[in-house]
Amino acid sequence: MLASICLALCGCGPSDPLDMTVEGTSQLDLSMWKASASQRLSPEQLADFNEAYQEIKFEIMAEGTASGGPAEEAAALEKVNGKTVRSVLQLGLGRELRRLEYEQNQRLQSIKFNAGIATRPDDTRSQRYLEEIHEHQLQRLRDEALEIERVKARLAAAGPVSDAPAPTMDVQPTLSPTKESNSDDF
């Protein structure tokens, strides 16, 4: 009798909430699973799950493997359904980390390129403009570094996973930035 009460109180799921299996064959199923999982996941873990899931959806949109909201949602659900929370965190946050590091690398290339731009000695207006761009780029670089450290910390908190292959980023860094690639830096 006591054993039955203990099982009822403790549940039959894994002891580590990150080892829970995600159940989401539809958006409604996923919403219901998250409502139930929120009893065991910390608010930070649930926020990490949502962030990872959004990154998975972003990847699907960027790759073009599904077209339109419902198809993209279905593809994302297919990637997470039946996986552990830990696997979803590693998949989504790992992809986010690679994306952020890639963007940081692109920004560094842009900064190096822009540092080589020269103005006429008497053109103080252009010199100020370039200085403003440089300061803005450096601030974005600092912000990116903080975001990379935050994602690394969240990945470390999720711990290692063995059932999710590490996705690769198909986009290759540009070896030499172009003038057009710098227009979005400010």
- Residue with the bigger pLDDT between 183 and 87: it is 87
Residue 97: give the domain boundaries. 17-182
**Whole-prediction pTM:** 0.71
pLDDT above 50 (res 164)? no
Within a domain: 171: yes
Mean pLDDT calculated for residue range 19-26: 92
- Residue with the bigger pLDDT between 1 and 140: it is 140
- Cα separation, 35 vs 39, in Å, equals 7
pLDDT at 31: 93
Within a domain: 4: no
Mean pLDDT calculated for residue range 15-29: 91
Within a domain: 6: no
Give the side-chain half-sphere CA count within 13 A for 71. Answer: 7
Within a domain: 66: yes
Within a domain: 7: no
- Residue with the bigger pLDDT between 67 and 110: it is 110
Within a domain: 8: no
Number of domains in the chain: 1
The torsion angles phi and psi of 84, rounded to 5 degrees, stand at -80, 160
Within a domain: 114: yes
| Tokens of residue 16, six digits | 């580590």
- Cα separation, 94 vs 88, in Å, equals 9
Within a domain: 5: no
Local confidence band at 69 (pLDDT 50, 70, 90 cut-offs): confident
For residue range 79-131, list pLDDT tens digits in order.
999 999 999 999 999 999 999 999 999 999 998 998 888 889 899 999 899 89
pLDDT at 40: 94
Share of the chain above pLDDT 90, in %: 57
Residue spans of alpha helices (H) in the chain: 2-10, 27-37, 43-63, 69-80, 85-115, 124-158
